[in-house]
Amino acid sequence: MKKLINQVDDVVNEMLDGMTAAYPQYVKRLEGLEVLVRAGGSDGKVALISGGGSGHEPAHGGFVGKGMLDAAVAGAVFTSPTPDQVYEAIKAANGGKGVLLVIKNYTGDVMNFEMAADMARDEGIEVEQVVIGDDVAVENSTWTTGRRGIAGTIFIHKLAGACAEAGGGLDDVKRIAEKVIENVRSMGMAVDACTVPAAGKPSFDLTEDEIEIGIGIHGEPGTHREKISTVDEISDKLLGKILDEGIYNSGDEIAVMVNGMGGTPLMELLVANNHISKVLADKGLKVYKTIVGNYMTSLDMEGYSITLLKLDDELKKYLDAPADTPAFVQQ
């Protein structure tokens, strides 16, 4: 295994300290905890909190800042943060208007975030939560009951975060998050697996001419393995499964995310988007906004995911709202 690290056990701690050293204008770390909060605090607004295992950078700490998250909780690599860590994040981020937890649908995350919410409610903090399962690849897995939460989570951070920034109440912010969940779908693939530092070897093996279709974001294998083909053909398969959901119809306006899994060059993501944009146009779907890059990664996995979000005027307003975070800036 080749990794640019020091000691395996120190990776998350040093990563968080490195982020606060790089972006002190955006984030600060709660002492002794794997929690990043806004450097300027969150008084007077609904607080949005997300998180999960590390290894998905820039998610989730990279989205702490104006217009998006108020706190991010980092567990060990691909491991849910503990209820105590989430609880401390809730207390630190609470600005008196309530807290919304954004939870990806993985069993450990759901259980631990819910326990933390109950602990905070016992102290009189108003806490609501949403669970996202945007991955169309699988219905159930070793890690989930129901669909997995993957890159579509970023759209919740952005749109629900914009609602909170604009002064929306807790019910309003939760409603926007739920509206995104209803209208967002994703699917991904891998050319090569990732290597978890503690494991020291790839999470699954592919031969030179194989790819994995339907991967998650924790190094888990997908729905099936097949021979590598052109990126246009691969994108057709991913898009086909997403469009089979039946929620995207000719004339709809959509937002598109082509998300790198961590080890894929931007050149290749843009080549994928070139074809994706043409297919969507042929289907009569109007692309309102596209974002391409690494947003919800899986360490050094080589591959990408496609996410579509159906928009209405309300969602477009929040999608267009300003944001200023280490990993996402929009004027």
- What CA–CA distances, in Å, run from 19 to 76, 87, 216, 327? 16, 22, 25, 11
Residue 124: exposed, middle, or buried by beta-carbon count in 10 A (0-12, 13-18, 19+)? exposed
**Would you call 56 a catalytic residue per the annotation?**
yes
3-class secondary structure, 26: coil
Distance of CA 62 to the CA centre of its chain: 11
Burial status of residue 245 (CB atoms within 10 A of its CB: 0-12, 13-18, 19 or more): exposed
Alpha-carbon gap, residue 9 to 319, rounded angstroms: 38
Other Cβ atoms within 10 Å of 267 Cβ, number: 8
Q: Is the dihedral of CA 285, 287, 292, 298 positive or negative?
A: negative
- How many alpha carbons lie under 13 Å from residue 48 in its C-beta half-sphere? 34
Give the Cα-Cα-Cα angle 76, 85, 101 (nearest 5 degrees): 100
Query: Which one of 157, 218, 224, 275 is the catalytic residue?
Result: 218
Instruction: Please list the residues that pair with 141 across neighbouring strands.
Output: 144
Please calculate the CA angle 144-148-151 and round it to the nearest 5 degrees: 150
Map residue 198 onto helix, strand or coil: coil
89 CA to centre of own chain: 18
The catalytic residues are 56, 218
